[in-house]
Amino acid sequence: MRYANIIINISHEAVDRPFTYIIPEELESDIHPGTRVMVPFGRGSKLKAGYCIAVSDKSDIPDDKLKSIDHVVLSQDAAAGKLLELAAFIKEQYGSTMITALKLVLPVKKPVKSRKSALTDFSKEDLDNAKAASDIVLNAEQESVVSDFTREYDEGIRRTYLIHGITGSGKTEVYIDMIRHVVSQGKQAIVLIPEIALTYQTRLRFMKYFGDRVSIMNSTLAQGERYDHCMRAKEGLVDVVIGPRSALFTPFENVGIIVIDEEHEPTYKSENMPRYHARDIAIKLASMHNASVVLGSATPSVDSYYRAMRGDYKLYKLSNRALGGSLPKCEIVDLREELKAGNRSIFSRRLTHLLDEKIRGGQQAMLFLNRRGYAGFVSCRACGTVIKCPHCDVSMSEHRGAGRMVCHYCGYEIPIPKKCPKCESKLIGSFKAGTEQIENEIKRMFPNVGVVRMDADTTSRKGDYERILREFKSGKAQVLIGTQMIVKGHDFPRVTLVGIIAADISLGSSDYRASERTFSLITQAAGRAGRGDFPGEVVIQTYQPDNFAIRLAATQDYEAFFNEEIAYREIGSYPPVSDILAVMITSKDADAGFMLSDRLSNFVKIKSDATLIGPSRAGIGKINDYHRFVFYLKHSDMNALVKAKDIMEEYIEKRDLIGKCHVYFDFNPMNPF
C-alpha cells in the first residue's frame, strides 16, 4: 500500500496542513509530488482538488481511517519537486497558506489542441531581421564581464552577480553571451523583465541567437497558451523563457542561469499575498538548481548595490555606451520660473522649442509622465473639498472621455460633479496633467505629426503593447507619450529628445524609497535619448531643481546618489541597513481590527527584540469597506523578523483570534500600507 500527503485546495489556515490518502493501485504510476488530484474531503466526502506534496510506503494512521484518492487531474513531472520545495520556502519566508504558495508556483493549466510556433507572433519583417542577425560583437568592457563569468561558471562557481551598466552599455548582449555559454552545457535560462511591454522587443532580440527555442510566460497568455508554453519547457523544446516575475515558476528541470534585467524595478515585488520579491526567489531557486543569478541595471536598487559593496554579490561595471557616443545632455527647468514668466503650459519654453526643432528635423521624441489617466484629483477651489471614494480613503480620478470619476482601488464610479457637493460652488475641477491631456496638447501644437500614447488605458487589450511600439519604431509616429512603461529598457535609435514633464511627482510619496525611485525614473527616461547616430537631449521639468535625486540624475552620477541616499537610510534604519516587517490587519469591524492589531503588536513586542512602530490606521484607512490597521517591526537581522512572523502566526492560531479579521505580512514593503 502506498500513501500520499495531500494539501487541500482551500485557502484557510485551519486546513493548511497535509492530509494522508491511500493511493489506489491503478494510480500509483501517476501520483508524484506536484500531481494535482481530486480527493473526498470532510464529513460529506465532497470531492476537493489538492496537490500531492509527498509519497510514502508507510502511514501512522490505520488504513480503515483513511480515504482514497479519487482521480488525477494533472500529472506533473520531476520539475514539480523543486517547485514544491520553493512553495514551502515561500510559505515559511513570507507568511501564507501552503495552498496559496502552491497555486503561485503550480498554476492550474488547461491543454490546447494544437501548438503554435514560438515565431507566429512576429511580422515577416521581424523574422527576416532575426534570421539576418550576425554574431554578437562585444567591446572590451563587455568581453571582460562575459569572460570572467564563463571562467567562474566552468570552475563550478555559482553566485549572484550585479552588472551596473549605464543606459545603452549593451547589457542585453552580455546576458545573451552568458546564456549561450550556459545553454551549450545543456542547461536552461530564465530571463526576467519588469514589464510585459518589454516582452516583444526582448524576445525578438533573443530569437536572433536562440531561434524558436525562446518562449514567453506572462499574464497575457490564455490558460491554454500558458499550458502549451509549460509543456514545451518540460519537453526540452525551450532553452530560454522570458517574462515578468511569474516566469520564475517555469517547470524547467535544469536551470543554469537566471537573469533579472532592470533589477531595480518595484514590479519585481508582488503586491498580492504572498508578497515575495523575485530577486530573493531567484536566488533561492538558483541554489536549488546549482545555477547563477545575474542582476542588471543602469540604476541598481540601493538594496542590491549595498549587498555588492558588502561583498554578497560580485559587481561588474559597464561605463561606456556599446555603440559609442555619449550620454544625453540633460537640462533642468525650474517650473517656478516658468510660472513667473507667465507660462502656464504643460510644457516649458525650452521643451517646446526642442520639440519643434526635433520634429522639423524628422527625429523622434518621448514625453514621460509618472501618472495615468486624464487628470488627478478633483477639488473645489472655493472650499477645498476633494472628491473622495465613499468606500476608500482616497481621492477619485477623473476619466474625462467617459465622463466619470473612478476609484482605482475598488472600482466605484460616479459622474464628474458639476458643483461642489459641500458648498455647491461651480469652481470645481481637476488639477495636474495626465498622459491624455499631454497627447491632446501635442496634437494641437503639431497637428500633422503622428502621436502615440502608452499607458494603462491604451494597453488593456492583448497586442496593444506590440502595436504601439511597432508604430513608433517604424517612424509612423514621431512622438511617444507614456507613463513608466516607456522608460524601461526600450531602444529607439531615432529618439533624440526626452521630456520629463513633472520629475518631482514621485518625491511626494510617503515611501522612504521616494528619492531612489525619482532618481531611477529620471535616469532611465533620460537614457532613451541619443542611442543612435544623433546626440540626445533631455529636459527635466521640476518645481524642486535643487533636490539631490533630481540634480544627480541629471548628471547620471549613480555613485554620488548612492552615497547620499545610504546615509539617509542609515539615519532612519531603513533597508538595506535594517529590515522591516509590515503587519496589516483588515476587518469590516473597525473595533475588532484595532483590537487585534493592538493585542498582536503588544505580544510581539514582548517576544521579540525588534523595534515596534505603531499600531495605527494604515495610510489608506479603508478600502472597499474594510478598515485597515498596521504596525511595523525593524531589525538588523531578517531572520529575527521571520521568527517574529512565526511567533505571531502561532499566537493567532492557538488563540483563534482571527475571527472576521485578516492578517497580512510584508517584508521590506515597496509601498507603505
Report the pLDDT value the prediction gives residue 128, as an integer from 0 to 100: 60
Residue 322 CA from chain centroid, whole number:
27
Residue 345's nearest CA partner among 526, 353, 549 is 353
Report the pLDDT value the prediction gives residue 389, as an integer from 0 to 100: 84
How far, in Å, CA of 164 to CA of 171, rounded?
9
Report the pLDDT value the prediction gives residue 489, as an integer from 0 to 100: 66
Within 237-360, strands assigned E span 240-243, 255-261, 292-297, 314-318, 329-334
Is residue 492 very low, low, confident or very high in pLDDT (cuts 50, 70, 90)? confident
Query: Coil, helix or strand for 247?
Result: helix
Q: What's the whole-number mean pLDDT along residues 350-360?
A: 95
Residue 15 CA from chain centroid, whole number:
31
How far, in Å, CA of 331 to CA of 554, rounded?
7
Long-range (24+ apart) CB contacts under 8 A made by 433-436 are 433/346, 433/369, 433/371, 433/375, 433/501, 433/502, 434/369, 434/371, 434/372, 434/373, 434/374, 434/375, 434/376, 435/369, 435/371, 435/372, 435/373, 435/481, 435/482, 435/483, 436/373, 436/374, 436/400, 436/401
CA angle 60, 65, 70 (to 5 degrees): 105
Query: φ and ψ at 360, to 5 degrees?
Result: -65, -30
Q: Which residue has the higher pLDDT, 433 or 238?
A: 238
- Tell me the β-bridge partners of 54: 5
Report the pLDDT value the prediction gives residue 195, as an integer from 0 to 100: 82
Residue 215 CA from chain centroid, whole number:
19
Domains and CATH numbers, the chain: 2-105 (3.40.1440.60), 124-318 (3.40.50.300), 329-373+433-570 (3.40.50.300), 579-667 (3.30.70.600)
Query: pLDDT over 70 for what percent of the chain?
Result: 89
Query: Coil, helix or strand for 601?
Result: helix
How far, in Å, CA of 103 to CA of 157, rounded?
33
**Terminal CA-CA length for the chain:** 50
Report the pLDDT value the prediction gives residue 335, as an integer from 0 to 100: 86
Element spanning 432, H or E? none
Report the pLDDT value the prediction gives residue 118, as an integer from 0 to 100: 47
Q: What's the whole-number mean pLDDT along residues 258-266?
A: 95
Strands 329-334 and 537-542, bridge-based pairing:
parallel
Q: Is residue 114 over pLDDT 50?
A: no
Residue 485's nearest CA partner among 328, 376, 368, 327 is 368
Q: Which residue has the higher pLDDT, 30 or 560?
A: 560
Asked if omega into 24 is within 30° of 0 (cis), the reply is: no
Alpha-carbon dihedral sign for residues 433, 436, 439, 441: negative
How far, in Å, CA of 162 to CA of 42, rounded?
50
Query: Coil, helix or strand for 9?
Result: coil
Q: What's the whole-number mean pLDDT along residues 377-395?
A: 76
438-478 tens-digit pLDDT? 999 999 999 999 999 998 788 878 788 888 988 998 889 99
Q: What share of the chain is helix, strand, coil (3-state, %, to 5)?
A: 35, 25, 40
Q: Is residue 391 over pLDDT 90?
A: no
Q: Is residue 223 over pLDDT 80?
A: no
Place of cell 536562440: 210
Report the pLDDT value the prediction gives residue 509, as an integer from 0 to 100: 61
Q: Please, what is the average pLDDT of the chain?
A: 86
Report the pLDDT value the prediction gives residue 127, as an integer from 0 to 100: 56
571-613 tens-digit pLDDT? 888 999 999 999 999 999 999 999 999 999 999 999 999 999 8
Q: Are 102 and 15 in contact (CB under 8 A)?
A: no
Report the pLDDT value the prediction gives residue 350, as an integer from 0 to 100: 97
176-211 tens-digit pLDDT? 999 999 999 999 999 999 987 778 788 888 988 898
Q: Which three cell numbers stand for residue 313?
A: 554579490
530-562 tens-digit pLDDT? 877 788 999 999 888 999 999 999 999 999 999
Residue 664's nearest CA partner among 356, 275, 117, 82 is 275
Spatial CB neighbours of 90, under 8 Å, sequence gap ≥ 6: 96, 101, 104, 105, 274, 276, 281
How far, in Å, CA of 365 to CA of 353, rounded?
12
